[in-house]
């Protein structure tokens, strides 16, 4: 049984921090201008990310061997995100809020882990393509929960729920990739096309992390942990102590694929996502509340990501999967 490669955990963390710091530096130097963010974000969502999904899902053996795995993976993503929202709603009682929209934003933001660009390098570096492909399908279930249950919490039942957002390029890419997987048509694609998809898809993670770094830099001036100390402490306690414990216990207890157990361990280690800041602005939430939570949990994650990943790999018994990287 392979030993836990501690250096790989820190290498994955270095990738995350390195690209995010790159975004901070590019914004600070004026190379990456704020007006370019929209175009870069669209290129990631509409082009690079779909290529990443197609390349890693279309020949995923775990999904091909048992189609029912799809439902299990999707529902797992939905349930863990919904669980986070409910837990955050309960935890919100410990924080005094001046306005209802601040409480709604706390629930929405704290309940969403950074399921994508922080998780991707760890999955690929530690566990390889099979687990990475499962993670990409898992993310679809997470997205479904965000744009349904999550938005309901954020808007407190208002009429701003936008179901059209459930149909987006990543979702379409997953459907296409699964079709190629089950029909085995992916094997008929020219090798050059498959290689091109791989190279293009690999750009999604660096570009996404650079954008995250630039976004963090733009909002650092509004960070006030002293004023929002209780808010941040409760968010960190839930997101980086209680929920990770629940995720890892679930990974130990549930009779699911080892790759899905690995995904649960990876997501257990994640801080709050960055994207809720953008969504909070759009749906009338409190961007400043989201900002304090995101920055607080993100900074702390430099310590908690390796801690929870290493703990999860050991307790869940995922050492065999560690040999699947190449």
- Distance of alpha carbon 127 from alpha carbon 122, whole angstroms: 8
Measured over the CA atoms of residue 213, residue 203, residue 182 and residue 168, the dihedral's sign is: positive
Alpha-carbon distance values, 128 to 125, 172, 216, 241, 261 (Å): 6, 23, 29, 26, 14
pLDDT per position as a tens digit, 197-256: 989 998 988 998 898 888 888 877 777 777 889 999 999 999 999 999 999 999 999 999
At 245 the pLDDT is: 97
Partnered with residue 113 across adjacent β-strands are 272
> Could you tell me if 147 and 33 are in contact, meaning their C-beta atoms sit under 8 angstroms apart?
no
pLDDT per position as a tens digit, 294-313: 989 988 998 999 999 999 99
Q: Which of 210, 185, 225 is nearest to 274 (CA)?
A: 210
Tokens of 243: 């929920």
CATH fit for domain 6-324, picks 2.40.128, 1.10.10, 3.90.1200, 1.20.1530: 1.20.1530
pLDDT at position 323 over 70: no
Q: In 46-168, which ranges are continuous DSSP H helix?
A: 49-57, 61-65, 68-91, 100-110, 119-122, 129-145, 151-155
pLDDT per position as a tens digit, 170-191: 878 888 888 888 887 777 788 8
Q: Domain limits of the chain?
A: 6-324
What is the reported pTM? 0.83
pLDDT at position 164 over 90: no
- Distance of alpha carbon 324 from alpha carbon 253, whole angstroms: 23
pLDDT at position 324 over 70: no
Mean pLDDT over residues 109-127, rounded?
Answer: 89
pLDDT per position as a tens digit, 35-54: 888 888 888 888 998 898 88
At 4 the pLDDT is: 63
Alpha-carbon distance values, 278 to 16, 113, 281, 283 (Å): 20, 15, 5, 9
pLDDT per position as a tens digit, 72-107: 999 999 999 999 999 999 999 999 998 888 999 999
Confidence band of 28 (pLDDT split at 50, 70, 90): very high
Mean pLDDT over residues 61-72, rounded?
Answer: 77
């Amino acid at each position: 049984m392979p030993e836990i490669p501690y250096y790989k955990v820190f290498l994955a963390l270095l990738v995350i921090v390195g690209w995010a710091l790159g975004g901070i530096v590019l914004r600070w130097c004026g190379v990456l201008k704020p007006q370019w963010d929209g175009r870069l974000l669209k290129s990631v969502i509409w082009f690079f990310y779909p290529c990443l999904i197609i390349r890693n899902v279309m020949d995923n053996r775990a999904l091909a061997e048992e189609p029912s795995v799809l439902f299990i993976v999707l529902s797992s993503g939905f349930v863990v995100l919904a669980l986070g929202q409910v837990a955050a709603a309960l935890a919100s009682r410990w924080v005094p809020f001046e306005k209802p929209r601040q409480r709604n934003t706390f629930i929405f933001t704290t309940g969403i882990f950074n399921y994508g660009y922080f998780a991707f390098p760890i999955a690929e570096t530690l566990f390889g393509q099979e687990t990475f492909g499962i993670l990409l399908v898992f993310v679809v279930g997470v997205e479904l929960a965000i744009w349904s249950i999550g938005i309901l919490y954020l808007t407190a039942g208002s009429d701003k729920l936008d179901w059209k957002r459930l149909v987006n390029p990543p979702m379409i890419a997953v459907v296409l990739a699964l079709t190629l997987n089950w029909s085995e048509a992916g094997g008929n694609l020219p090798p050059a096309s498959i290689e091109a998809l791989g190279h293009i898809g690999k750009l999604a993670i660096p570009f996404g992390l650079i954008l995250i770094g630039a976004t963090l830099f733009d909002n650092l001036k509004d960070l006030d942990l002293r004023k929002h100390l209780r808010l941040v402490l409760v968010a960190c306690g839930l997101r980086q102590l209680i929920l990770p414990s629940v995720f890892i216990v679930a990974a130990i207890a549930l009779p699911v694929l080892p790759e899905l157990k690995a995904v649960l361990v990876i997501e257990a280690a994640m801080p709050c996502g960055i994207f809720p800041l953008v969504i909070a602005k759009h749906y009338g939430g409190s961007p400043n509340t989201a900002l304090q939570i995101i920055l607080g949990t993100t900074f702390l994650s430099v310590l908690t990501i390796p801690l929870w990943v290493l703990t999860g790999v050991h307790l869940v018994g995922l050492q065999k999967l560690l040999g699947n990287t190449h």
